Chain A
């Protein structure tokens, strides 16, 4: 093996340029829940970083899809930032289960900002994703993959992460179906499951409630669970109410535990709680 002092200076410079740099914490967007933001490197969702979202089981696909839409919205919520969101899906996914515009509106996102790309297979999707990430005119690129997706290995995810770092576009990898987390260059990896919502009047299902697990974080702690609720009007998450639990008897509206006021609850006096 060559000693480094014997390397020609040009090669040395090339090696130095190619060496992975220490991760720089760029711009972040706080998610809104203090507990989560404290744990995330930089205090929020890193812009220009790869984030992976896994659905806990197949029934949680709606929640995971919603979480991806929410994160995309959080990452591009700056006033005056109308950068489009590119959502790449496979043909089969779009045929079986279409993204519903009014549903996106109900999560607070303007579907007019969304560009939907329907690609024939995973290879085309990943290729289009990396190409799109080089285009700084975009805000977020969501890549939705179903099943194991063996093509998405460490190399592919590094390629995605590098492209994103250079342009500042935030990639979100949404893994649905029976996806197993593998090695990747992601900044954060989330498990998403549905959680019982705080019922509205007359026992109606309430605001989207999710159970988030931070499985992994590059350069930060991981292994936490949070129950959160999506606040569409403030474009952020908030802690789920502790009252959002089923009574043992089952059926009927859920009674609210007395005095279970969480910090931040008072600020949201405007929204309805079941009695």
Chain B
């Protein structure tokens, strides 16, 4: 695929350029441009001189990488072991997958056809090692026998540096076949052990593996349809059957799933991922299926079967130990009971993640940081201290974010407020308590305390004549930190 985009008739020759040492160079060309005598690596100025109508565009490496990732996702349907060989190569480990497609050749044909539906021209090759397959796909000449084909490959297939290639050519080697029978000792002495390694891998003499983009989940199930299924209800029923399989396997392992992912492959190459997460490990197919149904219902753009789905795949991405449950005799010590966890999973799947939280204390005096929203299922959160008996509340029940500025009248600048205007209403202070002084946390300040001490807050609990109770603060100590301290409402008491 190095020649990139598909050519269209009577269009201007197309070239993608990259900037090399201040000058633009051709990076990739279409057929018309190649036919006009341009070659990759040529300077853009030279190319323009030869073909004035050249349509040159900047090369988008990131876009190309994303395209390759998407294609790798597509190839997921042939084998879970897919690796990327940038800039344009995909390697599939089809060991043990071929029977599903009726043999190696049929699988290759399917893969090439799938790529063609994406508007791409591809070269495919099969070989005993990933390096050999890549080299055959890039430089192969269509020889049937695998070993012969590898022997006929040029030295470029070794992927060594140009210096090494030049030295090999000067030594009289032209093809891989020339090198195949040379004893490895002298070769390693002259060109380094790396070359011998590369040669062994290319000739499938040593064991070589690919590093797949993502490891296949240990527990998974899939269903392929002879005819594409265009009905979402059927897909969900199949998903239910797959869940039953997966959950049986989870039960054998004494595990429960925390994260499930379903991938629906459409016959036209599109894919749809559905993922759910649960608060506690589960292995009840009905429960998980219900979550998936909630997920489908909550999708921003609904599930579009198009011409139908042909593969449904389900994987347990994360599993945890789930033995036979024994209730604690003194009362459950788990943060959540099972039915509550199921409820929160359901609500969470529908409303989105991080919507349901628990309040946990944080060890700080700064009020807006004192409450920490923790995940519901979080274990061993710190507890809240009980308030001293007989005291009236010192902290408001709701905290305004951000604090709202008010105009305050006070007898002395550093005294308590006498009256204040908030949201256009004047409140006369009937009772107050304060100040409660809360200093800023110097260790959170840029540059430490000395340079940037921040403003100390003086908090007042205040009740107006109608009985509304407020939590006000004055930002900054008068005379020391500021000359015109501002006042804010920070909270409302019950």
**What is the CB-to-nearest-CB distance from B328 to chain A, in angstroms, rounded to a whole number?**
13
Specify which of A112, A128, A137, A195 is in contact with B347 (CB 8 Å cutoff).
A128
Beta-carbon nearest neighbor of B383 in chain A: A112
Whether B430 pairs with A246 at a CB distance below 8 angstroms is yes
Whether B346 pairs with A131 at a CB distance below 8 angstroms is yes
Cβ < 8 Å to B, chain A residues 137-174 = 137-138
Residues of chain A contacted by B389 (CB below 8 angstroms) = 233
Determine, out of A18-26, A96-104, A179-187, the stretch whose residues face the partner at the interface: A96-104
Within 8 Å of chain A (Cβ to Cβ): is B379? no
Whether A103 pairs with B393 at a CB distance below 8 angstroms is yes
A196 touching B398 in the complex, CB below 8 Å, given contacts A102-B370, A114-B358:
no
Residues of chain A contacted by B97 (CB below 8 angstroms) = none
**What is the CB-to-nearest-CB distance from A129 to chain B, in angstroms, rounded to a whole number?**
10
Beta-carbon nearest neighbor of A102 in chain B: B395
Residues of chain A contacted by B340 (CB below 8 angstroms) = 84, 135, 137-138
Beta-carbon nearest neighbor of A133 in chain B: B343
Whether B371 pairs with A99 at a CB distance below 8 angstroms is yes
Whether B370 pairs with A137 at a CB distance below 8 angstroms is no
Interchain CA distance A115-B336 in the complex, whole Å: 11
Cβ < 8 Å to A, chain B residues 331-363 = 331, 337, 339-340, 343-344, 346-347, 350-352, 355-361
Beta-carbon nearest neighbor of B361 in chain A: A101
Residues of chain A contacted by B461 (CB below 8 angstroms) = 204-205
Specify which of A100, A107, A203 is in contact with B371 (CB 8 Å cutoff).
A100
Determine, out of B18-26, B27-35, B103-111, B462-470, the stretch whose residues face the partner at the interface: B462-470
Annotate A33-66 by CB proximity to B: 1 below 8 A, 0 otherwise. 0000000000000000000000000111111011
Cβ < 8 Å to A, chain B residues 354-406 = 355-361, 367-368, 370-371, 373, 376, 381, 383-387, 389-401
Whether A205 pairs with B431 at a CB distance below 8 angstroms is yes
Whether B392 pairs with A204 at a CB distance below 8 angstroms is yes
Interface hub of A69, A108, A196 (most chain B Cβ within 10 A):
A196
Specify which of A136, A230, A271 is in contact with B339 (CB 8 Å cutoff).
A136
Whether B428 pairs with A59 at a CB distance below 8 angstroms is no
**What is the CB-to-nearest-CB distance from A199 to chain B, in angstroms, rounded to a whole number?**
5
**What is the CB-to-nearest-CB distance from A273 to chain B, in angstroms, rounded to a whole number?**
12
Residues of chain A contacted by B433 (CB below 8 angstroms) = 200, 202-205
Specify which of B331, B361, B469 is in contact with A194 (CB 8 Å cutoff).
B469
Residues of chain A contacted by B360 (CB below 8 angstroms) = 101, 111-112
Specify which of A67, A97, A98, A197 is in contact with B467 (CB 8 Å cutoff).
A197
Within 8 Å of chain A (Cβ to Cβ): is B248? no
Interchain CA distance A159-B385 in the complex, whole Å: 38
A104 touching B359 in the complex, CB below 8 Å, given contacts A63-B494, A230-B494, A272-B390:
yes
Number of interface residues of A (CB under 8 A): 75
Residues of chain B contacted by A67 (CB below 8 angstroms) = 494
Beta-carbon nearest neighbor of B433 in chain A: A204
**What is the CB-to-nearest-CB distance from A210 to chain B, in angstroms, rounded to a whole number?**
8
Whether B392 pairs with A196 at a CB distance below 8 angstroms is no
Residues of chain A contacted by B144 (CB below 8 angstroms) = none
Within 8 Å of chain A (Cβ to Cβ): is B492? yes
Residues of chain A contacted by B161 (CB below 8 angstroms) = none
Within 8 Å of chain A (Cβ to Cβ): is B305? no
Residues of chain B contacted by A58 (CB below 8 angstroms) = 423
Interchain CA distance A193-B469 in the complex, whole Å: 11
Whether B359 pairs with A116 at a CB distance below 8 angstroms is yes
**What is the CB-to-nearest-CB distance from B299 to chain A, in angstroms, rounded to a whole number?**
15
Residues of chain A contacted by B359 (CB below 8 angstroms) = 99, 101, 104, 111-112, 114, 116
Residues of chain A contacted by B331 (CB below 8 angstroms) = 80, 82
Whether A137 pairs with B343 at a CB distance below 8 angstroms is yes
Interchain CA distance A66-B395 in the complex, whole Å: 12
Residues of chain B contacted by A120 (CB below 8 angstroms) = 351-352
Cβ < 8 Å to A, chain B residues 412-442 = 418, 423, 425, 428, 430-433
Specify which of A102, A107, A115 is in contact with B494 (CB 8 Å cutoff).
A107
Q: What are some 21 contacts across the A-B interface (CB < 8 A)?
A: A59-B466, A99-B398, A100-B370, A101-B360, A101-B371, A102-B371, A102-B395, A103-B398, A105-B386, A111-B371, A112-B359, A117-B355, A131-B343, A131-B347, A138-B343, A194-B467, A194-B468, A205-B392, A209-B467, A232-B393, A254-B430
Q: 5 nearest interchain CB pairs?
A: A66-B494, A62-B492, A106-B393, A204-B433, A102-B395
Q: Which A residues are closer than 8 A to B by beta carbons?
A: 58-63, 65-67, 69-70, 80, 82, 84, 95-108, 110-112, 114-120, 124, 127-128, 131-132, 135-138, 193-197, 199-200, 202-211, 230, 232-233, 246, 250-251, 253-254, 270-272
Additional 19 contacts, C-beta under 8 A, given A97-B398, A132-B347, A197-B467: A59-B425, A62-B396, A62-B491, A66-B494, A69-B397, A100-B397, A103-B393, A104-B359, A106-B397, A111-B359, A112-B358, A114-B359, A116-B373, A118-B357, A135-B340, A135-B343, A136-B339, A137-B343, A194-B467
